[in-house]
């Protein structure tokens, strides 16, 4: 049997010899490096390293040894590279949800979808046709606080590793976001920071843009301003009405969200300040 792989994700103030120290530790403990990436922030003098290693089994021991070898201020995370439990949040639009359901069903992404949680019934049938539990918590008769509390309870009951807002059209409170920091993926219907607000494709059309795009990012207290994971674009012309742009935009959203989710599931994304370092 192939032994489990570990991912070591390290952030540290930069100093000479960090790569040598980390790889030395791994070698002395019998690890074989399968993938390795480093990066030094030109500004912040911050060092980033992501290493996938096989042949080492004791996560705690490896963590402790790395803590001994590396600067005190280093942030060291060692974890097995495993399929993750993902909970999807949705509202009415099927394009992102449907794409992720099919990818999960046919094992295209290393995840198990433990449930779909929505504030409308619209997507229940689609979800259940994939034998995934669907929970609807309508917001209509609840205060914002009460609704979010109900949602949080439902989420906590699933104990997911990751939340994906697959076009979930509710604003999350800072407390909610803080409780799942860097574990909530969102897809934004536009380039950031352009065309913030309602009807972004209408705005884009009125401005006569020749390119539209979408941004997948971690949710932050400022909902649409969290660390960007992936972006993509599609060309448009005057022939495209706001409705056409929205349709093309959905296709871009769908593929950007799937790409970002893959990167996060494979533990390739490290967050620093309001940015990401992505080891592709």
DSSP string covering 113-146, please?
A: EEEEEESSSTTHHHHHHTT--EEE---TTS-HHH
Q: Does 150 bind a copy of itself (CB under 8 A)?
A: no
Please identify, among the stretches 38-46, 67-75, 83-91, 179-187, the one whose residues bind a copy of itself according to the rule CB under 8 A.
Answer: 38-46
**CA distances (Å), origin 161, targets 25, 85, 111:** 28, 5, 10
Q: Does 121 bind a copy of itself (CB under 8 A)?
A: no
Contact with a copy of itself (CB under 8 A) among 74, 99, 167, 200:
99
DSSP 8-state assignment for residue 222? S
Q: Does 198 bind a copy of itself (CB under 8 A)?
A: no
Contact with a copy of itself (CB under 8 A) among 33, 136, 154, 179:
33
Task: Point out the catalytic residue in the list 224, 232, 244, 251.
Answer: 224
Distance CA 20, CA 43 (A): 22
3-class SS of residue 24: helix
How many residues of this chain interact with a copy of itself, rule: CB under 8 A? 64
DSSP 8-state assignment for residue 211? E
The β-bridge relationship of strands 111-118 and 134-136 is parallel
Which residues pair with residue 48 across a beta bridge? 11, 39
Helices (H) and strands (E) counted in the chain, each on its own, are 8, 13
14 assigned to active site? no
Please identify, among the stretches 110-118, 133-141, 146-154, 188-196, the one whose residues bind a copy of itself according to the rule CB under 8 A.
Answer: 188-196
C-beta closer to a copy of itself: residue 37 or 150: 37
Q: Does 34 bind a copy of itself (CB under 8 A)?
A: yes
Distance CA 272, CA 173 (A): 22
C-beta closer to a copy of itself: residue 157 or 233: 233
Provide the annotated active-site residues: 224
**Residues at the site binding a copy of itself, with contacts judged by CB under 8 A:** 16-17, 19-20, 23-24, 26-27, 31-34, 36-40, 42, 94-95, 98-99, 102, 105-106, 108, 126, 129-130, 191-195, 206-211, 213, 227-233, 235, 237-239, 241, 247, 250-251, 255, 258, 274-278, 280
């Amino acid at each position: 049997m192939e032994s489990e792989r570990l991912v070591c994700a390290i952030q540290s103030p930069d100093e000479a010899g960090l790569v040598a120290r980390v790889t030395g530790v791994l070698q002395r403990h019998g690890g074989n490096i399968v993938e390795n990436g480093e990066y030094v922030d030109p500004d912040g003098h911050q060092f980033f390293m992501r290493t996938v290693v096989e042949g080492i089994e004791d996560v705690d021991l490896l963590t402790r040894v790395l803590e001994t070898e590396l600067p005190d201020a280093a942030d060291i995370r060692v974890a097995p590279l495993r399929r993750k439990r993902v909970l999807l949040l949705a509202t009415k639009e099927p394009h992102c949800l449907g794409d992720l359901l099919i990818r999960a069903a046919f094992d295209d992404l290393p995840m198990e979808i433990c449930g779909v949680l929505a504030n409308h019934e619209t997507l229940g049938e689609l979800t259940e046709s994939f034998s995934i539990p669907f929970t609807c918590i309508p917001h209509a008769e609840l205060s914002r606080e009460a609704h979010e509390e109900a949602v949080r309870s439902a989420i906590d009951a699933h104990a997911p590793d990751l939340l994906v807002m697959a076009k979930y059209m509710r604003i999350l409170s800072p407390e909610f976001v803080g409780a799942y920091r860097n574990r909530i993926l969102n897809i934004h219907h536009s380039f950031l920071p352009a065309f913030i607000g309602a009807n972004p494709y209408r705005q884009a059309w009125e401005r006569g843009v020749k390119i539209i795009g979408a941004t997948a990012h971690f949710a932050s207290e400022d909902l649409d301003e969290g660390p960007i994971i992936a972006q993509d674009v599609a060309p448009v012309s005057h022939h495209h009405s706001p409705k056409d742009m929205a349709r093309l935009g959905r296709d871009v959203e769908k593929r950007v969200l799937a790409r970002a989710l893959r990167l996060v599931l494979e533990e390739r994304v490290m967050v620093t300040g309001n940015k990401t370092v992505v080891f592709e």
